[in-house]
Chains A and B, each alone.
Chain A
Amino acid sequence: MTRVVVTGMGWITPLGNDLDTVWKRMCNSESAIATIDRFDASSFPTKFAGQVRDFDWKQYVQDASIHHKPAMNSQFALGAAKQAWEQSGLGSYQELDHERTGIYLGAGEGVLDFSAHSMIDTHSWDVEDGKVDAVAWAKFATEQLDEWGEVEQEPNMPLWHLAREYNLRGPAFNCLTACAASTQAIGEATSVLLRGDADVMLAGGTHTMLHALGITGFNRLTALSTFDGDPKKASKPFSRDRGGFVMGEGSGMLVLETLEHALKRGATPLAEIVGFGSSADAYRITDLHPEGRGPSAAMNNALSQAGIDAKTKTNDPPVQYISAHGTSTQENDSIETMAIKLAFGENAPNVPISSIKSMMGHLIAAAGSVELITCIMSIQTNMLVPTINLDNPDPALDLDYIPNTAREADVACCLSNSFGFGGQNNTLVVKRFYP
């Protein structure tokens, strides 16, 4: 039977740009949330976010000139992929079959030039007609917009940049299922390997919506926190006074390969992907199903595929950590808690859960990949990172959310949840690698 293992990981996050730094900061319960300085958000309802800092993508590629002008999401992807590729040892593996090495990303779109677009739309506005004068719009667009910047808007551009950097010619997909995208990408990449369609898959996500129109969109949805205090305290999953999510940005990348391929080249498996579950709520465009139907189905499917009986009462639960989607919205955290109870039954109170979004914000399409890496780091270090800002617990949410402080634990199996607008639910189960 084919087994799929992780042999490399990398991330670019608001908490730092390498595995060790970010891990240490999460273990120290640090927050990366701060005032937005990428644009002037001082008048916006939300003025803070988790912003990637001190990152120069050119340090992560062999020859920057072959990438033309990558958008920020592609830059993050190149940074995270470099770390994963190096850790996997594939960079020095001469016998890599490039046609059997693919990519599956959950990447978001590029960054829209809001300054230019707002100028174009307003200058071409025909007051009498109450709409844009399309002829004028075309003229201003031609003058104001950077053509290559518009090409880089396509969500499959990070995929091209990674393929170009590492000469990857195998199966290639990009999915964009909102906040569930990179978990779905990793799950489907695993499926591609299990089918025998590739030996190696570079999988993960990358995204930034940290621009004026992105913040506008989520502010209008009233999904973002508008916390009026220390930004570090704004993201508070599972708290009684949680008031929406905090925007983050970044990328997480993993090298997945068949165990046979990894062992053949002498690679060190970091963990094994043992379960993937996917479902649709098929309920409403704005709301989760009130009974947690979709999230629990995704968890049940992933656990079933992993051969894990999560419901039978035991003092030694088969899953030692859940990386929650845990957005810090009233709806998500309540329904995710309900769904975890459905999936784990009486064992639910004994399974530690945390949301790293409390520390780095919500990386949108990239969130799931960064959270799966968190699970694998937990397995490797036997440490569980906390949900910070959990000083005022919601009494209706009664599970173990690892409040505020990291803890030691024997961690051999973790579950990672990602749920997206539109009712997208994806869950991965990852285990310590045993030969």
Chain B
Amino acid sequence: MDKITKELLEQVAGLHEIPVGAYNIRKDGELYGRNVSANINIVTKTDKPGIDIIVKDNTVNESVHIPVIIAQSGLKEAVYNDFFIGENCDVTIIAGCGIHNGGKDASEHSGIHTFDVGKNSKVKYVEKHYGQGEGTGERIMNPQTNILLREGSYMEMDTVQIEGIDSTKRETRAKLMDDARLVIKEKIMTHDKQHAETDFSVDLDGVNSSADLVSRSVAKNESTQFFRSEINGNAECHGHSECDAIIMDSASVTALPALTANNVEASLIHEAAIGKIAGEQLIKLMTLGLSEEEAEKEIVAGFLK
């Protein structure tokens, strides 16, 4: 494994070596490595780029790693990954994309992920986006996630983009059936002239379904962020969304929440806060001996932890 691949894999998937269990590593548009397990099968799609990940009923305590690495400047790809999670499963899925752009052409990855989560299954989905490279070419990622949570299922999606992505548009669509629960935790940091857009849309169709969407972001320099979240309460359900942003320098952040209740028993809440780092937080850390720059760094790191 070369140095760049190793670095990117470590950044996006926390991998130091080839992982245990099922995995599919895609590098520069091609299959770099794959392993399946007795319960988890991975099949290459025949009609378009991408894979099907099929998890058998009752698969518990297993993980799937599906990192994507782009080290070739100018590569543009759209990849379709479909997850079929059986019933009564408990699995962790670690996705993520790392781009190293050493050239002048834009590199772009659009990952379209579709989840069909079976009854009473539990899925933890971790997605990390990271860019590096000395080149002037843009690093672009546009992930799309479509989620269907069947009766009694649960999904937690942790999505992180804290460095090196010039432009991103992240769309997440979810449909929840009875007693299903979705938790999304998003963390974004943009700097320089980067742009990040988040677009959540969740339909709470099932009785006693619930969703909790939390986004924390930091916008530095001249970067711009746009946050949109939509929750539709179509049954007796609970929906909560929260957008909390720290704005610095000449950055710009827009939060556009939308809640629609189509049922009298739907209970929906949205909270949004955008502001600079509170002066008293800086002062407190400075009275502990930190410089203003150190205090700012710690406050941002804590906020995105």
**A interacts with B:** no
A: which residues have CB within 8 A of B? none
Contact surface of B with A, Cβ cutoff 8 Å: none
